[in-house]
Structure 1
Amino acid sequence: MKEEDASLADHVVYRPREITAMGNRKLGVVAWGNGGCSDDAASTRFHLLELASHGYLVIASGRVLSGPGAPPRPAQTAAPNAAPPGPPPAGQPRQLPPPKTSTAQLTQAIDWALKENARAGSPYQGRIDPGQIAVSGFSCGGLQAIAAAKDPRVRTAVFQNTGIFDAGASPMSGMTITKDALKDIHTPVIYILGGPTDIAYKNGMDDFQKINHVPVAVANIDKGHGGTYFQPNGGAAAMAVNWLQWQLRGDEKARAMFVGKDCGLCKDPEWKLEKKQIP
C-alpha cells in the first residue's frame, strides 16, 4: 500500500499492508528518486508497490500526484494552439525543467525511517533493519540515487535507466553531478538499463566501465528508456527485487540470478548481464 505520513513532508511511503504479519522479519528501506526528478511520488507506483510487497519500506520523494488518491488536475492555462518549444542550438542538449525534488530528500527518507524504528509508539518501532538500506531511482531520480549512495548507512544501490552525463552535458539545470560521484560509491551496485534505445544507455554503460572499486553489474533489457514501469507489478523492473534480496538479505535463490556463468539472468534471452567483481 502507499500513504503519505504527516511526520514526513513531501514523501510517499510504500509498505506491506499488514506489517505485523511479517512476524520477526524486519523491513528493509529503499529511498527512491522519481523519473524526471519530479515530485510525483506515484509515477512509478506499480514498481514501488512490488518492491514493498517483498518486505521493504519504499520511500519516494514528493506527493501522490497521479493515479488513485491524486488531487484533480488543474485546468489548462496554456493557449491550446501554442507552438511547442523550438529545438536547442546546434550541438546543445535540450534543456529540461529544473528538478522538483532533491538528493537530500532520499537522505531525509532514510533519516525518518531510522527515527521511526527507534520511536516509542511508532508502527515501525523495532521493525526496520538498519543493515538493510538501499537507494534507487529512475532516470533523473537515478542520478539522485547515485549522489545519495555515498551515505555510509547505504548497503546497496539500484540505478535504473540512468547514468551520469559527461562533463557539462546535463540537460537539466540544477542537477549537477559529475563522474567523480562514482568514486564515492562504497557498496555493490547494479544498473538496470533499457538497451541501446534507452537514452541513458550510453551514460549508464560508461558509469559501469568506470566503476572498478566495488562489485558492479549492468543488466540490459530491450525496453527503451521508459522501461516497463506501467505494467502490472512494474513488469521487468521487478528484477530489482532479486538484487535487493541478495545484497540485503543474503537470499541464495536471488544470488543465483547474478552469480556464475549459468546465472538466471545469464540464461534469460531477454536480458544481457555484464558484471565486475561478481563471480
Structure 2
Amino acid sequence: MRAIRRAGLATMAGAALAGMTADAGEEHGSGPYPALFEERADLPDHVVYRPADLRKVRRGALPIYVFGNGACSADGTSSRNHLLEIASHGYLVIASGTIPKPTAPKAPAPAARMAAPTETKALTDAIDWAQRENGRADSPFAGRIATDRIAVSGFSCGGLQALSAAQDPRVTTAVVMNSGFFPEGANPIAGVVSDKKLLKSLHGSVLYVLGGTTDIAYGNGTDDYRRIDHIPAALVNVPVGHGGTYMQPHGGVAATVVTRWLDWKLKGDGKAAGYFTGPACGFCKDDRLTIESKLGG
C-alpha cells in the first residue's frame, strides 16, 4: 500500500484546490431540475444546492447528499459543478462552508500538521437541518425531502470527514472521493479522524471514486476498499489524478458515476444499478474509467 506521507500534505491540500477557480458560468447541471446554490440564514457555514424551482419537486422526492470539500476547505463552492449536477437530478445537496467573497487566492501554508478549516460535524449538522426543514410548515422544502435516504460524501480531506459522518445510523450510503483513511500514525490533518477500524462499522453501502495511480490518495482509498467485506462496496478509478473532474462541465465523468450510484442506492433505480452490476454492467464497458465491486450480484 502506498501511504501518503506528512511531507505531502501541502501537496494534497493544494491539489484539492487546484483548478477549482474556473468560472461556473451558467452551469445548472444536466438533469431534469436546473439547479442553483445559495447560502441560507438558518444554516450558517453551509451552501445549499437544490432544484431552482421547488414547485416542480413532488413530495418526498429529494434525497439528501452532504459533502465535505477538498482540503476540508470552507469554500462551499469549490466543487460546485459536481454538486450542481447532482442537485439537478433531484437531490438536496449541502456542502460545508460558505460562498467566498472575491479575494486574491491564498496558497495553503506549509505545515507539519495542517488543521482542518471545517469540522466533520458540519456534515451531520446539514442532515439535522434538512430533517427539520422537511417538517417546518413554512419552509420551501416542507414535505419535499426524503429524510430517510441520505448520502454522505467528500473530496480528499472531506472524504475523511465523510467516512466519520457515515457512522451516523441515519446514513444510507457513503461516497468517498479521492480519499481514504491514512495508515495508523500517519494522519497529518489535525481535527479530522483517520482510523481504519471505523471501516468495520460502516453500514449500508460505500462507493470509492479515486483518480487512478497518480492520485495521492490512491493507496489509502484502495486499502480501505480491500478491507471492506461486510457491506456492498464498489471502487471506481477515473485516471485524472487527485484533482478529479469536479469542475469540468457538469462535474465530468465522476459526477455521472456518483449520480448513478445515488439513483440506485437512494431512489431504487434498477437502470442505474445496471451501471455497476449485472451482466451488462455499463461502467465495466466505459473506457473512461475502471471499476471493481463487491456488490453481491
- Given candidates 236, 241, 249, the residue that maps to 1:219 is 236
C-alpha distance in 2, partners of 1:106/1:228? 22
CA contact (8 A) 2:209 2:236 kept: yes
CA contact (8 A) 2:151 2:171 kept: yes
Structure 1 counterpart of 2:214: 197
Please state how far the C-alpha of 1:75 moved relative to its aligned partner. 9.2
Note the 1:241-260 alignment, pairs <5 A. 241-260=259-278
CA contact (8 A) 1:220 1:271 kept: yes
**What percent of counterpart residues are identical?**
53
C-alpha distance in 2, partners of 1:209/1:127? 37
Q: Which moved more, 1:166-175 or 1:5-14?
A: 166-175
C-alpha distance in 2, partners of 1:126/1:108? 19
Task: Give the partner amino acid of 1:157.
Answer: A
TM-score by length of 2: 0.84
Structure 2 counterpart of 1:117: 134
**What is the root-mean-square deviation of aligned Cα atoms in Å?**
1.7
Please state how far the C-alpha of 1:96 moved relative to its aligned partner. 5.2
Partner-residue secondary structure (3-state), 2:92: strand
Structure 1 counterpart of 2:85: 50
CA contact (8 A) 1:95 1:173 kept: no
Cα distance change on mapping 1:121 and 1:266 into 2, 3 Å: same
Question: Which string of whole-angstrom CA distances, capped at 9 and with x for unpartnered residues, describes residues 193-229 of structure 1?
Answer: 0100000000000000101110010001111000111
C-alpha distance in 1, partners of 2:119/2:212? 27
Structure 1 counterpart of 2:74: 39
Q: Does 1:271 align with 2:289?
A: yes
Task: Give the partner amino acid of 1:205.
Answer: T
- Give aligned pairs, total: 260
Task: Give the partner amino acid of 1:124.
Answer: F
C-alpha distance in 2, partners of 1:25/1:184? 28
Please state how far the C-alpha of 1:261 moved relative to its aligned partner. 4.2
- Given candidates 90, 97, 102, the residue that maps to 1:72 is 102
Please state how far the C-alpha of 1:242 moved relative to its aligned partner. 0.2
CA contact (8 A) 1:42 1:64 kept: yes
CA contact (8 A) 1:216 1:278 kept: no
Cα distance change on mapping 1:227 and 1:24 into 2, 3 Å: same
Q: Does 1:6 align with 2:6?
A: no
Please state how far the C-alpha of 1:269 moved relative to its aligned partner. 1.6
**Rg: which structure is higher?**
1
C-alpha distance in 1, partners of 2:287/2:102? 42
Question: Which string of whole-angstrom CA distances, capped at 9 and with x for unpartnered residues, describes residues 150-185 of structure 1?
Answer: 111111111100000001111222223210111221
Please state how far the C-alpha of 1:102 moved relative to its aligned partner. 1.1
Partner-residue secondary structure (3-state), 2:162: helix
Query: Which consecutive residues of structure 1, in runs of 5 or more, have no partner in the other structure?
Result: 66-70, 79-83, 86-93
C-alpha distance in 1, partners of 2:148/2:296? 21
TM-score by length of 1: 0.89
Partner-residue secondary structure (3-state), 1:164: coil
Please state how far the C-alpha of 1:26 moved relative to its aligned partner. 1.1
- Given candidates 177, 186, 198, the residue that maps to 1:160 is 177
Cα distance change on mapping 1:73 and 1:266 into 2, 3 Å: same
